[in-house]
Amino acid sequence: MNTTRKAKIHSIGKVSHVLLYVLKPTSFILYAFAILMLLAFCVLPSGAISIPELIASIIARDDFIELIKNEGVLLSTRFFCMVLTLYFVILCIVLLRHLKQLMHCFHQGDVFNLTALTHARKAYKINALMIISWIGLHLLFAIIAMINKGQFEFDYLSSWCVDSLSELISLAISTLLLWAFELGTDLNEEAELTI
- HSE value, Cβ hemisphere, 13 Å, CA-based, for 39: 6
The alpha-carbon radius of gyration of the chain (Å, integer) is: 22
What is the block-wise mean pLDDT of the chain (195 residues), using blocks of 10 residues? 70 88 90 89 85 81 76 88 92 94 88 90 96 92 81 77 93 94 87 76
Return the pLDDT at 62: 67
Return the pLDDT at 8: 80
Return the pLDDT at 136: 93
Supply the range of the domain harboring residue 64.
3-194
Task: Dump the DSSP string for the chain.
Answer: --HHHHHHHHHHHHHHHHHHHHHHHHHHHHHHHHHHHHHHHHTSPEEEE-HHHHHHHHHTT--HHHHHHHH-E-HHHHHHHHHHHHHHHHHHHHHHHHHHHHHHHHHHT--SSHHHHHHHHHHHHHHHHHHHHHHHHHHHHHHHHHHHHSS--HHHHHHHHHHHHHHHHHHHHHHHHHHHHHHHHHHHHHHHHH-
Return the pLDDT at 4: 65
Return the pLDDT at 195: 67
Closest alpha carbon to 156 in 75, 80, 57 = 57
Rounded-to-integer distance, Cα 59 and Cα 67, Å: 14
pTM: 0.83
Return the pLDDT at 44: 82
Phi, psi at residue 49, to the nearest 5°? -80, 120
* Total count of domains within the chain: 1
How many angstroms separate the Cα of 32 from the Cα of each of 37, 93, 155?
A: 9, 12, 33
Return the pLDDT at 112: 84
Return the pLDDT at 46: 87
